[in-house]
Amino acid sequence: MIRLRGLAAVCTSVAAAGLALLGGAPARALMAGASPDSPAARVDANLAGSRFAGVAAISINGGTYSGVVIAPQYVLTAGHVAAAGAASQMQVVLNPGATPWTSAVISATTYPTYNFPGDDLAILQLATPVPAGVPVYPLYSGTIRTGLTLWLAGYGASGNGNVGVSIGASNTVKRTGENALDQLTAQLASGGPVSSYFLYDFDGPSGNGPLGGPTLGNAVETMVAVGDSGGPSFVQVGSALELLGINTFVAAPNGQSVTYTFGDYGGGIVAADPRFASWLKTTTQGTLGESPPNDVDGPLPAWSYLLLGGALLAMGQRAGSRRARRPHA
């Protein structure tokens, strides 16, 4: 079992809780590699066809966090994100095209045994279902094991892995990257909450990171931090993305301060663990993994209005003719 001390929530509003628990520091970004890689090179275009279009930004009292659509009217995020404000103070933003789509939040439900960093999950119920065509991600259905390639996405700040943070978070700028699942564990530190955790290390351009395993490459490997809290770690199955976990924390080796540079750790909760299945299904009212409804008809073509108008005119003329033939009393 790995033992981490420099553990911190990837969310400024609960940084103090992370510090008090395990002596960490707040995190800062979904990072790029060393130059010539850059934060700009990691941006996912706001296109309707993007497979990351179902990754949501969550705005709470001026702060930016992340989440992922798991049902037409529900977004999964971190429990400590839901604890950052009342549901009435939350807004969910999707970027499936040039114009952002937004929704208010009706309710925010944390997992019943949430205790950071343990069971750090929450579900937001949206006031409005997401638009048709927005991806709704199923839970990962394969074997949960080390060595899986994780696809990460979020709206956090960014910078280069050999330098640190240089760009702030934005609820309209989504970045992506990959890492390898290095460890699965039920506990992060002696006496810490028991849960279902996944971890990865932020490898440099070459060699192995502190958790082992080769780097995925300078232009690919990434790590999460503030603003990316609650965002997804996907596994690619065929051409589709399935949700393995929710990103919730960062840490540094040997009790050092987190610097958001090569050698630090990231991780979160394995949402695809069967222990969460019943809660996910119940809280989403049985709609987990369903696609958003299509528009029933959409606008009628122009020619159809001419036909409809002609039909109504003919009906009116026939009715007038019948009244004219009716004998008067």
How many Cβ atoms sit within 10 Å of the Cβ of residue 292? 19
* CB-based burial label for 116 (10 Å; 0-12, 13-18, 19+): buried
pTM of the model: 0.83
Considering Cα of 288, then 291, then 292, then 296, what sign does the dihedral take? negative
Evaluate whether 57 touches 65 at the Cβ level (below 8 Å): yes
DSSP string, 148-177: PEEEEEE--BEEETTTEEEE---TT--EEE
- In 3D space, the residue among 69, 89, 67 whose CA is nearest the CA of residue 79 turns out to be 67
- pLDDT, residue 154, reads 96
C-alpha dist (Å) from residue 121 to 10, 78, 131, 195, 207: 13, 4, 24, 11, 33
Evaluate whether 224 touches 250 at the Cβ level (below 8 Å): yes
- pLDDT, residue 314, reads 53
Which helix H or strand E contains 247, and what residues bound it?
Answer: strand 240-251
* CB-based burial label for 189 (10 Å; 0-12, 13-18, 19+): middle
Task: Give strand pairing partners of 314.
Answer: none
- In 3D space, the residue among 182, 186, 197 whose CA is nearest the CA of residue 148 turns out to be 182
- pLDDT, residue 23, reads 35
- pLDDT, residue 267, reads 95
The helix/strand/coil state of 128 is: coil
Q: Quickly tell me which residue has 């709609």 as its tokens.
A: 287
Which helix H or strand E contains 235, and what residues bound it?
Answer: strand 232-237
The helix/strand/coil state of 40 is: helix
In this structure, the strands spanning 175-180 and 197-201 are: unpaired
Q: Quickly tell me which residue has 């009716």 as its tokens.
A: 326
Give how far the C-alpha of residue 72 lies from the chain's centroid of Cα atoms, to the nearest Å. 14
Q: Topology of domain 8-283, per CATH?
A: Thrombin, subunit H (2.40.10)
The helix/strand/coil state of 256 is: coil
- Alpha-helix runs per DSSP H in the chain: 15-22, 79-82, 277-283, 302-325
Structure tokens at 2: 């790995």
CA separation for the pair 171, 64 (Å, rounded) = 6
3-state helix, strand, coil in the chain (%, to 5): 20, 30, 50
- pLDDT, residue 317, reads 55
- Per-residue pLDDT 10s for the chain (329 aa) are 445 555 677 754 333 223 223 333 323 347 778 887 777 888 998 898 999 999 999 999 999 999 999 999 999 999 999 999 999 999 999 999 889 999 999 999 999 999 999 999 999 999 999 999 999 999 999 999 999 999 999 998 888 888 887 888 899 999 999 999 999 999 998 899 999 999 999 998 987 888 988 899 888 889 887 789 999 999 999 999 999 999 999 988 887 888 888 999 999 999 999 999 999 999 999 999 998 877 433 444 443 334 434 544 555 555 455 544 555 44
Indicate the domain borders of the chain. 8-283
